[in-house]
Amino acid sequence: MAPYILEANEVGKTYELGKGNRQTVLKNVDLQIEEGEFVSVMGPSGSGKSTLLYLISGMDRSTSGTVIFNGQDLSTLSENELSALRLNKMGFIFQQIHLLKNLCIFDNIILPAYMAGKSTHPEIKKRAAALMEETGIAALATHDITQASGGQLQRVAICRALINNPDIIFGDEPTGALNSKSAEEIMEILIDLNQSGTTILLVTHDSKVAAKTDRVLYMLDGQIIAEQSMGKYNKGLDDIKTREEKLSMWLFEMSF
């Protein structure tokens, strides 16, 4: 049986709008993510992509169905237990960086590790310095976040997401606010992370981003209606243009 790190079984989400009005944004979604996979979710705006990400990561609760993460049913956890799970086992990278303006870049990165309290302060600082070196932003350690570009800040967000050695990384349009060069650089970092064993699931509108993932899920009207297997991307060996053309043809069939 496949070693699923994450499973969603008939997950649904309905919002009560008052006066008997209801809005269903997710409808009986089934999803399985294997450990070490790199999966992207695509679809038009309003199709439920971000809602799905929030539900399967425990940031929001589903109206129906179950989400199983590492064998644990998220619906059985309290809010405090969910917070601890997200802090220790999950990493998050958003289009909006959500860094604290009153902290320098280095302190923004180490804050989640201090909150988790699993390592000593010297160990945390050593790991943060290593992550910043690997992502090419070591020189920015003492800078304010206003002194860095969008691409650099997204690297900060990646370091922050990795500081507690998460089992999975969730990304919601992590390249959406970047220029093409910065977006490509961020994807290269994410590919390296995945090829070192980190499971990644991201929401994206960018077919060039999705073409470098293992599998692409397509959502429409609150449901996953199709998926396309792309295979593991081998940097320097695979013809990315061929992968992009394959995905573009499939998305055309989906009328995207």
Helix axes 121-134, 150-162, angle to 10 degrees: 140
E strand or H helix at 152: helix 150-162
At the topology level, CATH places domain 4-99+168-253 in Rossmann fold (3.40.50)
pTM for the model: 0.93
> How many other C-beta atoms lie within 10 A of the C-beta of residue 237?
6
The one-letter amino acid code at 212 reads: K
Q: What are phi and psi of 133, to 5 degrees?
A: -65, -45
**Helices 150-162 and 180-195, packing angle to 10 deg:** 20
Measured CA to CA, the distance from residue 19 to residue 245 in angstroms comes to 48
Q: What is the pLDDT along the chain (256 residues), one digit of tens a residue?
A: 457 999 999 999 999 887 778 899 999 999 999 999 999 999 999 999 999 999 999 999 999 999 999 999 999 999 999 999 999 999 999 988 889 999 999 999 999 999 999 899 999 999 999 999 999 999 999 999 999 999 999 999 999 999 999 999 999 999 988 999 999 999 999 999 999 999 999 999 999 999 999 999 999 999 999 999 999 998 877 789 999 999 999 999 999 8
User: According to the model, what pLDDT value does residue 246 have?
Assistant: 95
Every domain of the chain and the residues it spans: 4-99+168-253
